[in-house]
Structure 1
């Protein structure tokens, strides 16, 4: 098992996983004809944790007006589609449905609201971009110029997944012109289900997170926490190994574990409660470097279960860009991309996790930051979007020729 630590090895892995590699710099992208709108159907809220959808679709605004349609809110404000403009090219749309709406009526009303929105904005030629196959239940009548499925997670493995999800994903794969996956393991799971599947694992906004390598003022809610600090940033849900953190925190009361992010879908009472475990809640994306700058080690304490089998955590390159040594449980995509030499320490048990943190705190890992930085710079979100967009344009051009 080898770590990617050079441009050549990065290109080899990209080719292996059906990803275009013909440009490490931002290219001049081809024109997209009359297609000037991208309509995204998402199960995630735009103003929730800033992650893959936000990184990609904010860059998509270079070429399209982006309309980000979230799941509905049930309230007493009447049937409507609220629109929040993020900037001139990006709008977030939220269907508002009356309390007590039945599931069947919810689909009918969402279809009605989407049709009205398209008519009001005079959108006829557009790209449909899906994060959730469930959106097909109210959008399968649309006729976009191109359908894109950006499969960032194996949603069917998450707690509470709808029973129809797998069937709707099958339908979405039949409709999609191109399929992108959020990691290599997910690519391997989908590659035989569609002729145009491409792996685009977690990328990095290096300029944003590398500011953490400079001295940053410690945020007010973190100042009183003693060092050493071992930090985690992300959603705390069924993927989080709270037993592991509880055990390591018990063994090392002199270490302080800082956890940033919302707690969702799990009972908060299951989480470790001790004087050296600190829950700071969700933070804005722009604030994260100030927190990271004042940590000593970063961690990825994910449980090994169905919901983590295909994940490619965005936080891995973000921690490294911040100049933090990283300790992770053996998540497959973390192991294969970062897991040996001088990238990320891999530890499965509480014993191994404790020893790995000790090694990182002693400054004995990682050993070659230049190799890490080369890898990070070559795997930027800018490059990922550019490569995706090139594939999209090529697919639309093929459709036109046919």
Structure 2
């Protein structure tokens, strides 16, 4: 693991959002002895009315952090910045305000923490992120772009995003990509591209059941254990990429099954939540998810197939497998690629009849210790401990070969 560095981490999600690779990598860097400034999402598109709560939360965090120099401390070596910036792209005056008034506040926060010659790690390919990288970079800095999705599918400014991403890839010293498709895209502009799908924290999803008071005393878990079987479960954001029409039809067709959803509500769920056999728990702490997933009979990934999801390998798949659970998913290209390697998932077309048939097959398939152990073994291949060590080895080799002047703080 890298240690003793200053790392500025430009994330595409909030720190308190569903726990993913963004937070996992940042906190591991901090605990390894690096000083990390985690910059929360500066956006890919302009906010909508449905984003009003998120905007208000960001304003509150920003005001709260003013007394501490624009950052809040999460734990030793890990600081979070919640910047106020105008949306990316659009008219030139918007970029000018960001570049000359708002982004310098982030640079000031980094200086207040004493950061110098930082390693700059970004998930965002927007003009805002690119301007921030250029502002923070020094001759001794190194830039890493982690390409995790095709963000051009999330903005009306597709051409502008593709141009800013091209410039970011060209200026990056190292590019990590989630899958082959994204890697091929990045290799058009940079030869130093390495494929690293998101991993899983095996310690957060222990295979063996821990019959301790903390787990047994959870009222929500007891409620879950009392539901009619089978329990069909989903963990993750309840967003527009979930095929809710599909889920509603399936829940109606199998009214005697229990359908459980855990995650932040990011879209209208009224039709789904009105069904008596559907239970929506909302977002839960990451460390508590294992107690719920253990009660699932089948775990599902009912994503819509579109230009954005075709490059996505959901983190939840390895979390489900780590607990030894059978997984049924729609036939997303990245999920199919994953399953071609491991032969561990049940993939299905996104129709109620086919998806229900796949769930029923998973319910009837052997679910003994051998099957559960094999699922866990596949998840273990994506353990963040080994995955991040390999990523760090690439970074260290580049640092050693590329610049003798680069030094630890």
TM-superposed deviation, 1:114 = 2.2
| 353-362 vs 301-310, which moves further | 353-362
Tell me whether 1:386 sits opposite 2:389 in the alignment: yes
Alignment partners' CA distance in 2, 1:320 and 1:53: 20
Alignment partners' CA distance in 1, 2:310 and 2:229: 33
Deviations, residues 162-198 of structure 1 (Å, cap 9, x unaligned): 7632221111101100011123332233233320111
TM-superposed deviation, 1:155 = 1.4
Q: Residue 81 of structure 2 aligns to a residue in which SS? A: strand
Choose which of 63, 78, 94 in structure 1 pairs with 2:82: 94
Q: 1:251 to 1:78 in 2, by over 3 A?
A: closer
| 169-178 vs 351-360, which moves further | 351-360
- Tell me the equivalent position of 1:251: 253
Q: 1:154 to 1:361 in 2, by over 3 A?
A: same
Deviations, residues 177-226 of structure 1 (Å, cap 9, x unaligned): 00111233322332333201111112122232124645553843351532
- Tell me the equivalent position of 1:190: 186
Choose which of 30, 44, 64 in structure 1 pairs with 2:34: 64
Alignment partners' CA distance in 2, 1:256 and 1:40: 40
TM-superposed deviation, 1:339 = 5.5
| 111-120 vs 327-336, which moves further | 111-120
CA contact (8 A) 2:6 2:36 kept: yes
Alignment partners' CA distance in 2, 1:253 and 1:218: 29
| 67-76 vs 48-57, which moves further | 67-76
Alignment partners' CA distance in 1, 2:85 and 2:149: 27
- Tell me the equivalent position of 1:376: 379
Deviations, residues 9-53 of structure 1 (Å, cap 9, x unaligned): xxxxxxxxxxxxxxxxxxxx5x77xx6200011231111110011
Q: Residue 346 of structure 1 aligns to a residue in which SS? A: strand
Alignment partners' CA distance in 1, 2:230 and 2:240: 27
Higher relative contact order (CA 8 A, sep 6+): 1
- Tell me the equivalent position of 1:221: 220
Alignment partners' CA distance in 2, 1:42 and 1:155: 13
Alignment partners' CA distance in 2, 1:189 and 1:272: 39
How many residue pairs get aligned? The number is 368
Alignment of 1:326-337 (within 5 A): 326-337=327-338
Q: Residue 289 of structure 2 aligns to a residue in which SS? A: helix
Q: Which runs of 5+ in 2 are unaligned?
A: 43-57, 87-92
CA contact (8 A) 2:273 2:280 kept: no
Q: Which runs of 5+ in 1 are unaligned?
A: 1-28
Alignment partners' CA distance in 1, 2:242 and 2:155: 13
Q: Give the helix-richer structure, 1 or 2.
A: 2
